[in-house]
Amino acid sequence: MFMGEYNHTLDTKGRLIIPSKFRETLGEKFVVTKGLDGCLFVYDNAGWTAFEEKLQAMPISRKDTRMFVRHFLAGAAEVEVDKQGRALIPSKLREFAELTKDVVLVGAAGHIEIWSQERWDALEEEAEESMEDIAERMDDLGL
């Protein structure tokens, strides 16, 4: 399970240091794709395979399903960690998530999220304002 929050910077070539705690589970190669809310999702190989299987099981006759599948698969890329613990984030994905310099990596249970510092700060502010309401709705889901 991925957890924790780590602040790093992208270098001029678009490489990002992957925290050692995350690398232990991710391994040498993993998948980065467009996420939700303007961030990127990172999956280890087992997590990506499970996610792909769920996507493949969805009915392609539905337009919203096709759009959902395309969102995640079209930009997905397998990336490798170099000897310094860095991964090159493809430019298309950096543009999608508006990653320029300051980046936040967040453990989100079965995957990791990569956020621009600006988007993460805005999300945190929004969450603080509404966490009480969100907590009440989570109670309905059994949490």
Is the model's pLDDT at 139 over the cut of 80? no
* CATH label of the domain that carries residue 98: 3.40.1550.20
Q: What is the pTM of this model?
A: 0.92
* Domain assignment of residue 77, yes or no: yes
* Domain assignment of residue 29, yes or no: yes
Give me the residue label for tokens 């599948």: 69
* Domain assignment of residue 138, yes or no: no
17-41 pLDDT per residue, tens: 999 999 999 999 999 999 999 999 9
Nearest to 35 by CA among 131, 101, 116, 100: 116
CA distance 15 to 86: 6
Domain that residue 60 falls in: 5-117
* Residue 131 pLDDT level (bands cut at 50, 70, 90): confident
> Assign residue 13 a region: left if phi > 0, alpha if psi is -120 to 50, beta otherwise?
alpha
* Domain assignment of residue 123, yes or no: no
Is the model's pLDDT at 129 over the cut of 80? no
* Domain assignment of residue 133, yes or no: no
The pLDDT, as a whole number, for residue 3 is 96
Residue 85: DSSP 8-state: S
Average pLDDT over residues 95-103: 97
* Domain assignment of residue 128, yes or no: no
Total tally of structural domains belonging to the chain: 1
* Domain assignment of residue 112, yes or no: yes
Is the model's pLDDT at 128 over the cut of 90? no
Average pLDDT over residues 42-61: 95
The pLDDT, as a whole number, for residue 132 is 81
* Domain assignment of residue 36, yes or no: yes
The pLDDT, as a whole number, for residue 59 is 94
